[in-house]
Structure 1
Amino acid sequence: MPALSPLCLACAAALSVPGAAWAQAAPVTLKEVVVSGSRSERALDEVPASVDVLTGEDLDGAQVQDIRDLARELPNVSVKRAAQRFSGVSPGGTGRDGNAGFNVRGLEGNRVLLTVDGIRVPRELTSGVFGSASFGRDYYDLGLISRVEILRGASSALYGSDGLAGMVAMSTTEPAELLKAGQTFGGRVGLKLDSENDSRGVGLTLAGRPSDTLQWLGSVQVGRSSELDNQGTNTALNSTRTAPNPQKDEDVSVLGKLVFTPGGGQKHTITLEHVDKSSEVEAYTGRTTSATSGSVLDLDGTTDMRRSRLSWDGRFRIDSAWADELRATVGVQDSDSREVTHEQRTVSPTQRSRDVTYSEQLWQGVLQAEKTRALGGDWSQKLVYGADVTVSHMDNLVTGTGAPSYERYPLKRFPETRETTTALFVQSEFATDRWSVIPALRYDRFELKPRNDGLYPLDAASLSDSAFSPKLGVIFRPASNWSLFGNLAAGFRAPSPLQLNNYFENPFGNYRTIPNPDLKPETSQTLELGTRGSTHGFQWEAAVFNGRYKDFIEELVAVGGSMFTPADPLTYQAVNRGRVRLHGFELKGHYALGKATNLRVAFGQTQGKDTVTDRPLNSVNPAKLVVGLDHRLGDWKLGAALTHVAKKSTSDIDTSGTPNQFATPAYTTLDLSASWQVTPSTRLSAALRNVTDRKYWEWTNVRGIAAHSPVLDAYTAPGRSLALALVTEF
C-alpha cells in the first residue's frame, strides 16, 4: 500500500470535524445544474473547477451532429479525427479509429474518463502490434443524449482510474424532458442533414406517463453517411490520392427507459441503451502506384462498433442520522469492436485478410449516501460518501488469411484479462455564505488478472496495486455576484491489459515485445485557480492551471537485445518513464449587448513538456480563440462565430518520431447559424461552417505526418459545409 501524501493527510483531517452529533436541520438547497464536479447536483458556481455544461440549444442538431462538434467552440478541448488512410495486413495505417476520443488540456485517450449515465465507456485500444487496426471511443449517438458535462482537471478523487486529465459525462434523455405539465403522451421527431459527410439522420423519441408513479421513454435513431470531406483534389485510385477514400457508414441506436416513483422520496430508473455503428471503406490510398512484384491491387476494410447497456439507478429518501438520501447504481455493459481488411496482391498469397476484434464486458455498482447538517453559526456541512466496484473483462483476437510468415492465425496480443477495482470515497463540503471548503479522498484497489489462453504463448503477468486520490477545493465569495475558486487534486490511471502483456514476435527480424509485471499506475497532481461571476449583463470565468504527471506509460520501448541476434532478439516493453508538466489558462465570457443580442468569447492555451527528455508534448493543441455573436429576432435566432487557432510552432513539437514533422499554420474560420421557431413545437435550424472555404489543418489530425509528405492535403479539414435540422415535439 502506498504511503499517504501530504495532500491525502490534509484531506483526511478536513473530512472529519469533531463536535455535535448529526443534527436534523433542514438541508441546504442546491440548484440541480452540475453533477460531475461533486457526484451530487449543485449550481455551477458552487463547483471549484472548470466545467462546461452543454444542454438544450447547445446540442442543436444542426450545430452538433457528432462529438467533434461538441468541442468546436470549447477552449482546451478537442476531438481527433484523422484521415481514413489505413493500410492492409501490414502496419502503418492511420485514422481507422474515427472520432478517437476527447483531448482535454493536452491529454487524451484513456487519460480522460468518459461516462454515459454514470457508466464507464469502453477504453481506447491502439498499438502497432495490431497492424493498422485502431479502436477509438466514439460509442455515442448524440440523438440519445440530452446533457454533456466536460470537467477539466483530475477527477480520480470522486471517480477513480482514468480521471487523470478530466472527465466527459453524458446523460441520456429523460421522459420528463418531453412530457409537458398534464401530458400523458408526447414525443419528438428529428431530421438532420450535413454536407460535410453527406449524412442523413432521423430520430423518433416517444414518452408516456400511464400513471402518477410511472413514466416511460423509447427512442430510435438511424443515420447514414459517407466519407468526411477534405480539401484534397487528387482523386487517383492509388496511394497518391488526397481526396477522401469512399466510405459508407450506418448507425442505429436505441434507448428505452422506465422511471418509477412509488413515493416516499424514491425514484427508480431502468435504462436500456444500444449503439451500433458500421463502416465500409474502399481504400484506394492502400493501392500501390504500379503493378510490380508485391504490389497491392485492391484494398478495402470494414469496421463495426457496438455497445449495449442495461442499468438501474435507484434513489431513496431516508432522512436518517447517517444519510438524507441514498443512491444505488448497477450497470451491465457489453461492447465489441471489429476491423477487417481485405487485400489483393500481385504475389502469393494473392488474397490476404486481417480480422481484429476487441471486446469489453463491464459490471459496475455504486452505492452513495448524502447527508447535510448544520454546524452552528453560518456553517453547514454536506457529506457525500460511498463505495464503487467495477469488474471488466477485456479480450482480443487477431485472425485472417495469408498471415505473415512469422505468425500463425488465430492469435491474441494479450490474454483475456479481468480487471477488478474496488473503491471507497468521501467528500465533505463545509459552507457559509462566503466560503466553501471541499476536501475529498478516494482509495482504489485494482487487480489485472489474465487467464491462461492457448492463443497467447507467453507467461502472462498479473498486476495489483492501489492508489489514494485526494482533492481539496475552496470557494470564496467576496460578493453575491462573483467568486474565487481553487482546486488541488490528484489523479491516476491503471495500466491496460495490452500495456501489461503486449505480445508480438518476429523471429526472422529478431525482435519481440514482452510483458511487464512491474508497471505502475500513471499519477497526476493538478492545481487550478479561477474566478467566475456576473455584473451588468457580463458573465465571466477565468482559470489558470498547472499539472504534474509522472510514471507515464510508454508502449514499445526498446529495453534490450539486438535486431541481429537470434539468441537475444531486440526486445520491446511498455514502461513507466514519462514525467510531464502541463500548464495554461482559459477565459470564457458572455456579454448582453442588448435584450436580444449576446456576445460570447472563449480562449484557451496549454503548454506541455516531458520534463525528463525536455521535449514538448505533441498531444498539446495550439491556442484557440472563439468570438461569437447571437441575436434573437422574433421567432428567429441568428448567430456567427469566428474561430482563430494559432500556428503550431516548430519549437513546440517533439520531432524525435518524425524529424520533419509538419507544423500547422494559423487559421481563422467563420461559421454562421440560424434557427427559426416555425411553431411553438417545431424548430428549423441551419449551420453554415467555414463560410470562406478556408483550407487548413488541425494539429491533432496531422501528428506524425512529415512536412514534405506528397499527400499532406489528405489531412485537411472540411471546406464549406451546410447542416440542417428539423425538430418537432408533440
Structure 2
Amino acid sequence: MPVSTTIHRPARCRLSFLVALACLHMAAQAQAQPEPSLVAAAALPEVVVSGSRHEQVADELPLSYDVIDARTLSDGQVRNVREALQDLPNTSVKLLPSRFSVTGVTSATGRDGNTGINIRGLGGNRVLLMVDGVRLPRSYAFRTTVFDRESLSLDLLKRVEVVRGPASALYGSDGMAGLVHFITYEPGDFLKGRDGQPDKTLAGRIAAGYSGDNHGRSLAGTVAGQASETLQWMVTASTRRAHELDNRGDVDTPDSRRTRANPQRDRDDAVLGKIVLAPNVGQRHVFTLEHVERKQGIELLSSRAPLPLVGTPAQIAGAITGESSERSMQRDRLGWNARFDLDAPLADQVQTTLAFQKADSRQVGTSVRQALPLRIRDNRYDEKTWQAGVQAGKLLRTGDWAHQLTYGFDHVNSRITNLYDGLNPAPPEVFPLKRFPDTRETSSALYLQDESIAGNWSFTPGLRLDHFSLDVTSQAGFHPPARQPGTSLSGSAVSPKFGVLWRATREWSVFGHYATGFRAPEAGQVNGYFENLAEQVVILPNGDLKPEKSRGVEFGVRGRLQQLRLDASVFSNRYSNLIMDAALIRGTGTAADPRVFQAINLERARISGFEVKGRYDWGQVAGGKLATSFAYGRARGRNLNTDAPLNSIDPAQLALGLQYDSAAWGFALDARHHAAKSAKDIDSSTAVKPPNTQFTIPSATVFDASVQWRVKKDLRLNLAVHNLTNRKYWLWPDVYGLAAASTTNDAWTQPGRSAHVSVVMDF
C-alpha cells in the first residue's frame, strides 16, 4: 500500500493572521497610551527564576547566568535560538543545512536541523530546555532518523534565561551541562503602565518582518485584556514563511557536486493563550494553552547522482535521480500554574504546576532511482508528557541569619513511541517496524535549597533526590523479529550543590559554586535495534547503561559600577559514564563478521575555561547615550580515557558591540570574532572515518549593523545588515563530521551579506 508523503496543514494555523488583523483594527481605534513599560528602568534590579526556582535578584545568584529580554529579541529581529544566544560566551547552537540522503547511505549530515544547545563544551540532550517550567521534548537520534529540539516560537517569548554548569540539583535529569529556560509573555506585560501597575483594559502588539538571507516573512500579533479586577487574558499568534538559508557556495549543479543550498520551503505557526485569575491578593492562577507547528519541504538536489551515470549495472540501476523530504513537528501544551500565600508554619507560599504536553515529529523521504522501485522512508517520533510539581518557600530568621528555604516535589511521566514505515525496506527489515519498543519514562524527585544570608555573605546549599525508571510498555512492532526483547531499567541519583556569595563592597561581589548533574539513559540508547545485511551493520541494545554524571566548580566576580557592568568567571567540569551512542564493539564488516555497534558508558572528560562579559556606558554623546558591550569565552576539554581533545568544544569567540541611543534613533554595530579550529584541537579518529581527517575552519570576523527609528513612542522600525563585509566563513558546530578532502564543504558556509527589516507597534 503506498505511503502518502503529504503533510497536511491544519486550518487553525490561519489564526495567526486573524489575530494580527484584530490587532490592527484595535490599534487604529486605540487612543494614545503611555509608552509600554516592557523595558524595565535601568535602576531596577534584574530578576530571574531559573537559578533558584523562585524570583530572585540575578546578581544575588552564586553562579553564572544570562538573560536575553524581549526588547533584545524584538529589536535584534531574532528568528531562532542560535541568533538569540549568539553573543553569549562558550555557548553555541548547531544549525545545519538540509543536505543529506533519505537513507543516509551517503550522508546524514543536515538531517537533524537544530539538534540543541552547547554550553561550555557539552550539548544535545545534556542541556535541559524548558518553557514556563515545562520540559521541552528531547532530540531523538537513531542512525538516519533525527528530530531536532527547536519546538518553540521566539515570537511568544518574554525572555530567555541561561544557567551555566550542572543544574540537576534543582531540575534533575538532562541538566548536566546547563539549563535554558524560555519564558513566555503574560497579559500584565502589555497592560501595565510606567509604574508597573495595570492601567489599560486593552493592549497588544503587532510585529512584521522580512529577512533577506532566507526570503523569510513573519507576522505576529498579541491582544491582551483586563476583563475584571481579578481576570486578565491574552492571545498571541505568529506565522513565518521562508525558503532555504543562503550560503556562500557557488556550485549550482543539481547533483552531489552542489554547494548551493537545496531548494526549501519552511512554514512555522504558533498560538499562545493565557488566562490569569487572581481571586484575592494571596492567590494567583495562570492557565496556558500553547500550540507550535513547523513544516518543511526540501528538494534534495545534492543527493542526486551526477549525469551521465557511471559504474556497474547495479550501481547505475540504484542511482538516485530525484529525492525529496517533508518534515513536520507539532507541540501542544496545556498548563496550570498557581501560587498561594499561606503564612503558615511550614510555608509562606506554595506554588503548584500541572502540565500536559504532546509533541509529534515526522519525516517522510522519497527517493526515485534509475531502474529500481520507488523508495520511501516514513519516520515518526511522539512524546506525551504529564508534569506535576509542588514547591514551597519559607523565610526564617535566627539572630543575624536569614534563611530562604525552597523545597518541593517534581514528577514527570512520558510515553514515547516511534514508527518506521515506507516502501522497499532493507532486508531483513519488514515495514512497519519500531526502532525501540513503546516506552514509559518516569521520574520523581524531592529537592531542598537553603539560601542563608548573614551580613555580606550568602550560602546556598541544595540537594535533590531523583528516582527514574524506563519501562517497556509494549513489544508490538519492535523490529520484528528482534533478536532480544526490550528491557526496562531504573535507578536513582543524588545531586548536591553549594554556593557562596560575598558582597565585598557595594560595587563588587565574589562567588563560588559547586554543583553536580546527571542524565538518565534514553529509550533509543537502551533498546535501539538495527540490522542491515547490505551494509553488514548491526546496532544492539544495551540494558545495562548507567546514568551520565557531572561535577562542576566555578569561581567568579561581579562589578556593578556607575558606568561599568562586569562579570568574569573560571570553571572546571568533570564528566563520567558519558554514553557513546554507537561505539564499534566488534566486527570487520563482512557477511561472516558484521560490524556491531552499541551504546556504552565509555567516556570520561574534563572541560575547563573562563568567561568575561559586560557593558561600559560612555555617557552622553551628541545628544544620545553611547555604550560598548563585550563578551569573550574560551574552553579546553579532553577525553580522559584517550587524552585526545574533545570535538564538542567550540573555538573561542569575542563579541563586541557599540550602541548609540537617542530619543528618536538607535544605532548598533556588532562584531563577532570566531577563532580557528585547528587540527591539534580535533580528534579526527572520532569525527570521520579513517583515513580521512576532519575539516578544520579558519578564524573569521563578521560585522552586523542595525538602525532603529522610533517613529513615535509606540512604533519602531528596525533595519539591519548582517555580514557587512560579505565574509565567507564556517562555524564549528555545523562542520563537525566533514572530511577535509571533501569538495563540497562550501555548502556549510554561513550566509553572506543580507538585509533585514521589521516594524513593531504597541497599542
Given the two structures, how large is their TM-score scaled by the length of structure 1?
0.93
Measured in 2, the distance between the counterparts of 1:581 and 1:260 equals: 48
Q: Counterpart of 2:94 in structure 1: which amino acid?
A: K
Q: From 700, 706, 715, give the equivalent of 2:739.
A: 706
Partner of 1:105: 120
Measured in 2, the distance between the counterparts of 1:508 and 1:155 equals: 44
Partner of 1:329: 353
**Equivalent pair of 2:142/2:528 in contact (CA under 8 Å):** no
**Equivalent pair of 1:62/1:686 in contact (CA under 8 Å):** no
Measured in 1, the distance between the counterparts of 2:702 and 2:595 equals: 48
What does 1:141-156 align with in structure 2 at a 5 Å threshold? 141-156=153-168
Q: From 301, 312, 319, give the equivalent of 2:336.
A: 312
Partner of 1:590: 615
**Equivalent pair of 2:658/2:668 in contact (CA under 8 Å):** yes
Runs of 4+ in 1 over 3 A off after TM superposition: 507-511, 560-566
Partner of 1:23: none
Q: Does 1:178 align with 2:190?
A: yes
The Cα shift of 1:395 comes to: 1.0
The Cα shift of 1:689 comes to: 0.9
Q: Does 1:118 align with 2:147?
A: no
Q: Does 1:355 align with 2:378?
A: yes
The Cα shift of 1:610 comes to: 0.6
Partner of 2:545: 519
Residues 726 and 243 of structure 1, relative CA distance in 2, 3 Å threshold: same
The Cα shift of 1:511 comes to: 3.6
Q: Deviations over 1:171-215 (max 9, x none)?
A: 111100111342111111110111111110101110000100000
Measured in 2, the distance between the counterparts of 1:81 and 1:260 equals: 39
Partner of 2:19: none
Partner of 2:708: 675
Q: Deviations over 1:649-670 (max 9, x none)?
A: 2110010032321111000011
Q: From 372, 390, 394, give the equivalent of 1:371.
A: 394
> Runs of 5+ in structure 1 lacking a partner?
1-29
Q: Deviations over 1:152-185 (max 9, x none)?
A: 0000000000000000001111100111342111
The Cα shift of 1:559 comes to: 2.7
What does 1:558-569 align with in structure 2 at a 5 Å threshold? 558-560=584-586, 563-564=589-590, 566=592, 569=594
SS of structure 2 residue aligned to 1:177? helix
**Equivalent pair of 2:542/2:600 in contact (CA under 8 Å):** yes
**Equivalent pair of 2:426/2:534 in contact (CA under 8 Å):** no
Partner of 1:13: none
Partner of 1:14: none
Partner of 1:257: 274
Q: Deviations over 1:221-267 (max 9, x none)?
A: 01100001100011101111100000000111000000000114111
Q: Counterpart of 1:160 in structure 2: which amino acid?
A: G
Q: Counterpart of 1:592 in structure 2: which amino acid?
A: D
The Cα shift of 1:454 comes to: 2.7
Measured in 2, the distance between the counterparts of 1:347 and 1:613 equals: 47
Partner of 1:8: none
Partner of 1:539: 565
Partner of 1:408: 430
The Cα shift of 1:61 comes to: 4.9
Measured in 2, the distance between the counterparts of 1:142 and 1:506 equals: 41
Residues 270 and 193 of structure 1, relative CA distance in 2, 3 Å threshold: same
> Runs of 5+ in structure 2 lacking a partner?
1-43, 193-197, 310-315
**Equivalent pair of 1:360/1:394 in contact (CA under 8 Å):** yes
Q: Deviations over 1:443-490 (max 9, x none)?
A: 000000012323113311111000000000000011111100011000
**Equivalent pair of 1:311/1:330 in contact (CA under 8 Å):** yes
The Cα shift of 1:535 comes to: 2.0
Residues 475 and 460 of structure 1, relative CA distance in 2, 3 Å threshold: same
Measured in 2, the distance between the counterparts of 1:285 and 1:570 equals: 28
What does 1:411-560 align with in structure 2 at a 5 Å threshold? 411-456=433-478, 457=482, 458-507=484-533, 510-560=536-586
What does 1:179-194 align with in structure 2 at a 5 Å threshold? 179-180=191-192, 181-194=198-211
Q: Counterpart of 1:368 in structure 2: which amino acid?
A: Q
Q: Does 1:73 align with 2:90?
A: no
Q: Does 1:205 align with 2:222?
A: yes
The Cα shift of 1:57 comes to: 2.1
Measured in 1, the distance between the counterparts of 2:567 and 2:626 equals: 20
**Equivalent pair of 2:249/2:746 in contact (CA under 8 Å):** yes
SS of structure 2 residue aligned to 1:500? helix
Residues 31 and 541 of structure 1, relative CA distance in 2, 3 Å threshold: closer
Q: Deviations over 1:528-558 (max 9, x none)?
A: 1000012241110000000000000001223
Measured in 2, the distance between the counterparts of 1:32 and 1:266 equals: 24
SS of structure 2 residue aligned to 1:593? strand
Partner of 1:276: 293
Q: Does 1:580 align with 2:605?
A: yes
Q: Counterpart of 2:430 in structure 1: which amino acid?
A: R
**Equivalent pair of 2:616/2:627 in contact (CA under 8 Å):** yes
Q: From 257, 263, 266, give the equivalent of 2:283.
A: 266
Partner of 1:6: none
Partner of 1:619: 648
